[in-house]
Structure formats: C-alpha cells, structure tokens
C-alpha cells in the first residue's frame, strides 16, 4: 500500500481491469509482494490464525443460524435438534462453541505477543487501538453467543451482565430495561441478542480490515524491535515465505482445535448449560466462559458494584492507553531485563485472576483477587511508566540484518 | 514516577523499592493462591453435609477409541423402560434413534414393534379433536406426565428431570489441578456426568443419627446436601436380563447410565471416529506444510 505497485498486469483482461479497479494489484501488493521482516518468530503467525478463526466462526455460525430458533420456549430444544437431527449438526455446533474458545486463546496469545514486543509503540498506536476495539467487540459477540443455547448459564450470565448496567447512577435501571427490552431477561432479550450476535462478527470483519490496513501502512514490528532499514536485505516477500509459515501455524493450531471439537467438546463448557433456562432456579455458582474469568474476578473483587463495573471496563480500556503508559524507546522485551520480569508477573496475575474468577468470591479467594486486581492496574499505571524512565535497557541491535547475523543461521 | 502514582507517595525511598515491593506482594499472592487452591478441596470434604465425590468407573465409550457397548445399551434401555420411565421423560429420543448405528442398534422390526406398543397424542383432526394413536418410529417417547405441574402433583412436589441430556447436565468439580488434565490427550476425562449419575444411583445409605431427613426425601451421599427426592429406584433382581448379565443394583445402575450417556449424545461414536480421521489428516497436513516451509526458508538467514 505504500509506493508504486509491484504488480504488472500481463493478460488482456488483467490490464483492462487494472485501469478500472486495481484490485489485482491491491491483493498482490498486500498478500504476495508485501515485505515481511525476516526475523519474525512464530508469535507472528497468530494474525493469520485469527483471520482463519474469524472466517470459520462466521461460516459455522451462518449454518447454525439456519437451524436455530431464537424463541425462549424453543431455543434450547432447537440446539439439541441441531445436535441430533441436522446432518453434521453436532460437528457444526461443537466446532462453533469450541471455535469461540480457540478464537479467544489465539487473541490472548496475539495480545500477549504485542505486550511483550511493544507492538503498541510508535508508529503503531492506531493499529494497536483498533486491536483493542476488535477485542471488545469479540467479547460482546462471545457473550451474546453464549446466551443463545438458552441453558441455565446462558440465562444467568445474561442476567448478571445486563444487571451491571443498573449500577450506573440515575440512568442505570432505564438503560438495563432498554437493553433487555423487558424488565427481566426474556424473549425480547433473546431475540435481540441473536440479531446482534449475527451482526457483530461482520463489524469485526470491518475493523479487522482497518487493522490490516494500518498494519500494511506501518509494516510489521519484529522480535528485535528495530524498524526495517533496507527492504531488500531485511525483508522477504509475504508469499511464499509468510504464507507457508502461517499455513503451517494454522495447520498446527487446527490439530488442537480438532482435538477440542471431536474429543473433549464439553471440557470448556459448564454442565448447567445443558439444563434449560429457568428464571425461578438460580444455579449455586454462576460462572462465565473461561475467557471472561479474569475480568469477572476483577468485577467481584470490588465491594461497590458501580466501581466494580468501572474497574471491569477500565481493565480492558487501559490497554488502549499503553502507547502513552509505556514510553520506553526500546520496543522489544528481549532488550528490557526488568520489563521482562514485570511482564511475566503481569501474565501470572492474569492467569491467577482467571482461576479466582472460577472460584466462589469469598474468604481467601476474595482477598487474593483484590491483591491481584490491584496489581493488574499497578502494572499499567505505575510499573510501566516507572520502567520507561528508569530501566537500564540492553543494547539494541543496529538493524534487523545485524540482529540476524548476531544470532547466526537458525531454523526456528 | 511518584507524581504519576499517588499510591506510591506513601512509601518514598530508593527508586527500586516500589518495584521490588510490588513483586514481593505478587509472589506472596501467587503463593497464597496456590496454597488455597491445593488445600480447599480437602478442607471441604471434611464437612459432613457436603456431598461425596463420585467414584470413577470404566466406560466403554470413554477415551479416543470409545464406543458404546450395544449389549449394555440394550440392557440399559430395558432398565429405563421398566423402571425410570414411570417418572422420567426422555422427550428428545425418537423410537427410530434406537435403530441408528452407534446405539443399541435395534432391528427395523424391533423399532416398529416397540413404537407400536406406545400411544401418542396427535391432532387436531378434521373435526378439531385431539386424539390418541399408535406411535410410529418417527415419534418421540411420550412423557409420563402431561406437564411439570402434573408431575409435581403426583410426586409430592418433586419434579423428575427429563433424561435426554441429563448426563451432560451433571458433573462434579475435579478441583485443582485435576481439571487441567481432564482436557489433555492421554489423560482426557469427560465422563464426569456418567460417574456422578451411576454413583448417585448406588449412593443411598442409612442416614447418620444426627442427620435429619425430611419426609418424602432420602439420604444419598452424592446428592447436594445429601437429600434427594427420588426414592431408591433400583433393587437386585427388579429387571430381568436375558443375556446373562448379573441382575444387581450395580449392574443396573451402570447399564442405565451408559444408556443415558448414549441418549445425551447419540453422535458420540461417529464424532470420535471422524475425529480420529480429521486429526490424523491434520497432523500429516501440518507436517507437510512444515517441511515445505523449511525448504523455502532454507536460503534465508532469520
């Protein structure tokens, strides 16, 4: 997308089309000739994996929507009919439900990669913020989708989450009623949740397009955190180099995805969601899907509901402020020894919060959740700005070429 | 730094201090978390009204090569039909399902005869009347009660749950770190629901003297709160097997649970068969891509 196109149309039709809509050269420049730094490691394959998962979720989702009924008395049974009476229905449903988990697994690795290698730093701030927006829309989509099977956890998760909005002063209750379309989670809620669950993935596609556009303007970052200086020496064309590497990574990821789908399809689910929604019976423990657990722990760690909700949203939004919280000139964590420790402590905090989110919020669990919640924000608000100013970083290689030569030939 | 962080103003000192202190705090928290995680299940088991952990059983349908045992499903169906079906519906199961591959695999004639022994409600007919007719293989099993209220009225307030997906709707907490292994190849354990149900069916005991069991309820060590509304459903010799299997509560419980596991997921066998093919293909496919990638990158230092 930068500079003159490397594509020269050969056939008559291609020449004709090129003068009217240069779509072939666009695709060629973006996915064939596009220069990728040659020092990328496998952490850089998750963008491709995520693109694959997005398409997979949309395809399985559209077919499932053809058989699903968003009506409270029929929804639960319609899902079981998909499992029993629709050809390949069980495969579609398990692939879609586990696909959501795999999508989140991949996005968490993708985000963790960005956090470690400073992918949010100048000039990639907009690229990063678009990523945070995608993550938030993904969370909304995942939550809405979890409600559709209309099991006990679906219903009570919807109740708990929509209830959060009632914590807002003055307008809270009206907003909740407006969201639900009723005074409680019911048929109106299920209908709109289905409509939105179908809509949001296409909004994600649109934001992903912007995300990829921004990526192609700035170029990819890389594990050494130094910008490309010599395109000829330091980059390789996307095809075949990145295509094959991404292809292999997707293949390996699919092995895991297939294992989950075909052999442990209910491992990440909750048995209560195979009980039809019942507004009169509250499950003993209401637990969200695993990918929401750290945020759920933060929400429950704070005694005031309103502040809990604010902390919940802040814990995600704060990611968007990263470019201005971590101002260290050194991008890659590989050359930042103290940052590295802080990074792993932060990852451990997130995993710990995840475990606590699955446990009852009482006693020792609650207090540890409070400490970890404090640390979660402390990492962003104090440790990162402090390190930016005071950390003694290691010398950064002069160029990608120098970094690669310094390592010798490797076949990672 | 301190200016940007009011919390740190409380402890002025060397520049390293806030970092180190916070790390120590973190380490403490993680250590405490690990301790709580490891000790809590043991501490919980000590309370006398807490339910016991279900026993693990061998299931033919467990694991990567798991298949249902046809004989067991047929015996289990007999137990369901003669005992459970008095109170429990199984509304998602159609008669024809019993003839499908991977299940009890009744013959076409057996399915037709079975369906013919049931009556189902249908209608309205041309004169606007609802009527009863003989069931067809495409019909689903008629429920024992017209609705929940009718069931509760007949069962002194209790509502026997539908059994169609009950095995998937039940489970128990494995605790840390067991739950981590349950999803892994080689360790995978997905039969929590079946183990819970078979244990429950065998879990009726005499209540300890200090434990009050209300009228109409029974003492069962696997039920939450150890009180259950269902009377002990099985007794030795209650169902006659014609294949020589032992006619004991243990055997009945296992057979009917296996049957329920099949009802909850009739596609389990094809899922596992197809899964093996899919994973084998993907491993080979990813392997080929890996070597192609290696070849292409072999002339680039990276």
CB contact under 8 A, A378 and B22: yes
Residue the block writes with tokens 């934001």: A207
Comparing CA positions, the residue from B130, B64, B91 lying closest to residue B278 is: B64
pLDDT tens, residue by residue, B103-151: 999 999 999 999 999 999 999 999 999 999 999 999 999 999 999 999 9
Give the containing element (helix H, strand E) for B142: none
pLDDT tens, residue by residue, A181-196: 999 999 999 999 999 9
Residue by residue, DSSP assigns B150-203 as: HHHHHTTT--PPP-TTHHHH------TTHHHHTTSTTT----HHHHHHHHHHT-
B153 interfaces chain A, CB cutoff of 8 Å:
no
pLDDT tens, residue by residue, A337-368: 999 999 999 999 999 999 999 999 999 999 99
B149 interfaces chain A, CB cutoff of 8 Å:
no
CB contact under 8 A, A251 and B30: no
Task: Round to whole Å and give the CA distance between B85 and B104.
Answer: 17
pLDDT tens, residue by residue, A37-91: 999 999 999 999 999 999 999 999 999 999 999 999 999 999 999 999 999 999 9
Q: Which of residues 267-286 of B touch A (CB under 8 A)?
A: 267, 271-272, 274-276, 278-279, 282-283, 285-286
Task: Round to whole Å and give the CA distance between A325 and A381.
Answer: 7
What pairing do the DSSP bridges indicate for beta strands A35-37 and A235-237?
A: antiparallel
Q: Which of residues 18-37 of B touch A (CB under 8 A)?
A: 18-19, 22-23, 25-26, 28-30, 32-33, 36-37
Residue A218: the pLDDT is: 95
CB contact under 8 A, B224 and A248: no
Phi, psi of B235 (to 5 degrees): -145, 150
Task: Round to whole Å and give the CA distance between B146 and A72.
Answer: 20
> How many domains does chain B divide into?
1
Residue pair B73/B80 in contact by the 8 Å Cβ criterion: no
Task: Round to whole Å and give the CA distance between A386 and A92.
Answer: 49
Reply yes or no: is the peptide bond before residue B124 cis, omega within 30 of 0.
Answer: yes
CATH classification of the domain holding A63: 1.20.810.10
What pairing do the DSSP bridges indicate for beta strands B218-219 and B131-134?
A: unpaired
Inform me whether the pLDDT recorded for B38 exceeds 70.
Answer: no
In a domain, B152, yes or no: no
CA A94 to chain centre: 20
Facing B185 at nearest CB: one of A247, A259, A375: A259
Spell out which residues of chain B touch residue A410, defining contact as CB-CB under 8 Å. 301-302
In a domain, B209, yes or no: yes
Task: Round to whole Å and give the CA distance between B183 and B123.
Answer: 47
Average pLDDT, chain A: 95
Q: What is the pTM of this model?
A: 0.92
The parent domain of residue A65 ranges over: 28-292
pLDDT band at A406 (very low <50, low <70, confident <90, very high): confident
> Residue B146: CA atoms inside 13 Å, Cβ hemisphere, count?
5
In a domain, A362, yes or no: no
In a domain, B40, yes or no: no
Among chain B residues, CA nearest to A92? B271
Residue B6: the pLDDT is: 39
Among chain B residues, CA nearest to A356? B33
CB contact under 8 A, A267 and B29: no
pLDDT band at A170 (very low <50, low <70, confident <90, very high): very high
CATH classification of the domain holding B244: 1.10.760.10
Rama region for A181: left / alpha / beta (φ>0; ψ in -120 to 50; rest): left
The secondary structure of A252-319, three-state, reads HHHHHHHHHHHHCCCCCCCHHHHCECCCCCCCCCCCCCHHHHHHHHHHHHCCCHHHHHHHHHHHHHHH
CB contact under 8 A, A262 and B274: yes
CA B135 to chain centre: 30
In a domain, A180, yes or no: yes
What pairing do the DSSP bridges indicate for beta strands B131-134 and A235-237?
A: unpaired
Start-to-end CA span in chain A (Å) = 29
Spell out which residues of chain A touch residue B92, defining contact as CB-CB under 8 Å. 77, 80, 84
Chain B closest CA to A245's CA: distance in Å?
Answer: 6
Mean pLDDT along residues B232-240: 96
Which residues does B140 contact at the CB level (< 8 Å), separation at least 6? Answer: B91, B92, B93, B94, B95
Task: Round to whole Å and give the CA distance between A227 and A119.
Answer: 12
Test mutation, B4, B24, B26, B37, chain A, max A CBs within 10 A: B26
Spell out which residues of chain B touch residue A263, defining contact as CB-CB under 8 Å. 64, 185, 188, 190, 272, 275
In a domain, B15, yes or no: no
CB contact under 8 A, B286 and A254: yes
| DSSP three-state, residue B189 | coil
pLDDT tens, residue by residue, B245-292: 999 999 999 999 999 999 999 999 999 999 999 999 999 999 999 999
CB contact under 8 A, B292 and A260: no
Q: Which two tokens stand for residue A131?
A: 């990523």
Inform me whether the pLDDT recorded for A99 exceeds 60.
Answer: yes
Average pLDDT, chain B: 88
Residue B42: the pLDDT is: 43
Q: Which two tokens stand for residue B248?
A: 């004991």
Residue pair A368/B40 in contact by the 8 Å Cβ criterion: no
In a domain, B266, yes or no: yes
- Beta-strand runs (E) in B23-128: 119-122
In a domain, B229, yes or no: yes
In a domain, A135, yes or no: yes
Chain B closest CA to A244's CA: distance in Å?
Answer: 5
Inform me whether the pLDDT recorded for B71 exceeds 50.
Answer: yes
CB contact under 8 A, A248 and B290: yes
Instruction: Please list, residue by residue across B63-72, b when 16 or more beta carbons sit within 10 angstroms of its beta carbon and e when fewer do.
Output: eeebebbebb
pLDDT tens, residue by residue, A112-137: 999 999 999 999 999 999 999 999 99
CB contact under 8 A, B301 and A38: yes
pLDDT band at B4 (very low <50, low <70, confident <90, very high): very low
Residue B36: the pLDDT is: 55
Mean pLDDT along residues A371-400: 97
Inform me whether the pLDDT recorded for A2 exceeds 80.
Answer: no
CB contact under 8 A, A94 and B271: yes
pLDDT tens, residue by residue, A300-341: 999 999 999 999 999 999 999 999 999 999 999 999 999 999
Facing B302 at nearest CB: one of A39, A265, A338: A39
The residues pairing with B140 across neighbouring beta strands, listed in sequence order, are B94
CB contact under 8 A, A262 and B278: yes
CB contact under 8 A, B267 and A90: yes
Residue A407: the pLDDT is: 75
The parent domain of residue B279 ranges over: 55-93+159-287
Residue B177: the pLDDT is: 86
The residues pairing with B120 across neighbouring beta strands, listed in sequence order, are B133
> How many domains does chain A divide into?
1
Chain B closest CA to A61's CA: distance in Å?
Answer: 19
ipTM over 0.90: yes
In a domain, B75, yes or no: yes
Residue the block writes with tokens 């932060």: A346
Facing B25 at nearest CB: one of A38, A267, A371: A371
In a domain, B237, yes or no: yes
User: CA geometry: angle at B255 spanning B250 and B260, to 5°?
Assistant: 125
Inform me whether the pLDDT recorded for B44 exceeds 90.
Answer: no
B299 interfaces chain A, CB cutoff of 8 Å:
no
Residue pair B128/B142 in contact by the 8 Å Cβ criterion: no
Q: Within 10 A of A275 (CB to CB), how many other CB atoms are there? A: 22
pLDDT tens, residue by residue, A188-238: 999 999 999 999 999 999 999 999 999 999 999 999 999 999 999 999 999
pLDDT tens, residue by residue, B142-170: 999 999 999 999 998 889 999 999 999 99
In a domain, A142, yes or no: yes
CB contact under 8 A, B283 and A390: no
Residue B49: the pLDDT is: 76
pLDDT tens, residue by residue, A237-274: 999 999 999 999 999 999 999 999 999 999 999 999 99
């Amino acid at each position: 997308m930068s500079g003159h196109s490397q594509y020269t149309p050969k056939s008559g039709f291609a020449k004709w089309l090129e003068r009217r809509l240069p779509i072939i050269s666009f695709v060629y420049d973006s996915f064939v000739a596009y220069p990728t730094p040659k020092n990328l490691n496998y952490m850089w394959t998750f963008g491709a994996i995520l693109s694959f998962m997005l398409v997979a979720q949309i395809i399985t989702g559209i077919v499932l929507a053809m058989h699903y009924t968003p009506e409270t008395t029929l929804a639960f049974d319609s899902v079981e009919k998909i499992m029993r009476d629709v050809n390949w229905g069980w495969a579609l449903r398990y692939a879609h439900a586990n696909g959501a988990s795999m999508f989140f697994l991949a996005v968490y690795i993708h985000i963790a990669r960005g956090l470690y290698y400073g992918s949010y730093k100048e000039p990639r701030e907009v690229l990063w913020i678009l990523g945070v927006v995608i993550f938030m829309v993904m969370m909304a989509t995942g939550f809405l989708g979890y409600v559709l099977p209309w099991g006990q956890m679906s219903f009570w998760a919807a109740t708990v989450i929509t209830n959060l909005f009632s914590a807002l002063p003055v307008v809270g209750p009206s907003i909740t009623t407006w969201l639900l379309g009723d005074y409680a989670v019911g048929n109106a809620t299920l209908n709109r949740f289905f409509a939105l669950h179908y809509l949001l993935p296409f909004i994600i596609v649109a934001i992903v397009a912007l995300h990829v556009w921004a990526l192609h303007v700035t170029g990819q970052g890389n594990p050494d955190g130094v910008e490309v200086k010599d395109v000829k020496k330091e980059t390789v064309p996307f095809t075949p180099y990145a295509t094959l590497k991404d292809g292999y990574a997707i293949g390996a990821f699919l092995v895991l995805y297939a294992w989950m789908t075909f052999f442990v399809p209910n491992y990440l689910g909750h048995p209560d969601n195979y009980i039809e929604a019942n507004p009169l019976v509250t499950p003993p423990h209401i637990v969200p899907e695993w990918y929401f657990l750290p945020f759920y722990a933060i929400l429950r760690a704070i005694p005031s509901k309103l502040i809990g909700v604010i902390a919940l949203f802040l814990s995600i939004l704060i990611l968007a402020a990263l470019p201005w919280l971590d101002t260290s000139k050194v991008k890659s964590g590989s050359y930042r020894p103290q940052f590295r420790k802080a990074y792993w402590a932060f990852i451990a905090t997130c995993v710990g919060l995840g475990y606590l989110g699955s446990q009852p919020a009482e006693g020792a669990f609650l207090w540890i959740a409070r400490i970890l919640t404090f640390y979660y924000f402390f990492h962003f608000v104090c440790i990162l700005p402090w390190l930016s100013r005071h950390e003694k970083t290691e010398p950064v290689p002069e160029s990608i070429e120098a970094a690669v030569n310094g390592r010798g030939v490797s076949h990672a | 730094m301190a200016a940007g962080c009011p919390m740190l103003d409380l402890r002025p000192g060397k520049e390293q201090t806030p970092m180190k202190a916070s790390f120590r705090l973190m380490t403490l928290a993680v250590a405490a978390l690990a301790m709580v995680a490891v000790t809590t299940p043991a501490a919980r088991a000590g309370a006398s009204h807490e339910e016991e952990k279900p026993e693990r059983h061998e299931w033919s349908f467990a694991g990567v090569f798991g298949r249902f045992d046809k004989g067991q499903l047929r015996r289990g169906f007999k137990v369901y039909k003669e005992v459970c079906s008095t109170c429990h519906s199984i509304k998602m199961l159609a008669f024809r399902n019993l003839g499908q591959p991977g299940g009890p695999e009744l013959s076409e004639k057996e399915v037709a005869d079975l369906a013919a022994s049931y009556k189902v409600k249908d209608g309205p007919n041309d004169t606007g009347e609802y009527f009863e007719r003989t069931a067809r293989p495409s019909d689903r099993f008629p429920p024992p009660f017209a609705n929940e209220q009718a069931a509760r009225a007949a069962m002194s307030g209790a509502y026997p749950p539908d059994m169609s997906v009950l095995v998937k709707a039940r489970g128990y907490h494995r605790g840390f770190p067991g739950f981590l292994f349950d999803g892994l190849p080689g360790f995978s354990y997905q039969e929590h629901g079946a183990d819970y149900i078979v244990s429950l069916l065998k879990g009726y005991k005499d209540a300890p003297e200090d434990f009050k069991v209300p009228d109409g309820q029974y003492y069962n060590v696997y039920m939450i709160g150890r009180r259950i509304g269902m009377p002990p459903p099985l007794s030795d010799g209650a169902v006659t097997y014609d294949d020589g299997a032992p006619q004991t509560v243990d055997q009945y419980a296992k057979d009917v649970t296996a049957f329920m596991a099949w009802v909850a997921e009739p596609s389990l066998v094809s899922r596992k068969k197809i899964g093996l093919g899919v994973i084998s293909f993907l491993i080979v496919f990813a392997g080929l891509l890996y070597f192609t990638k290696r070849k292409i990158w072999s002339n680039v230092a990276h």
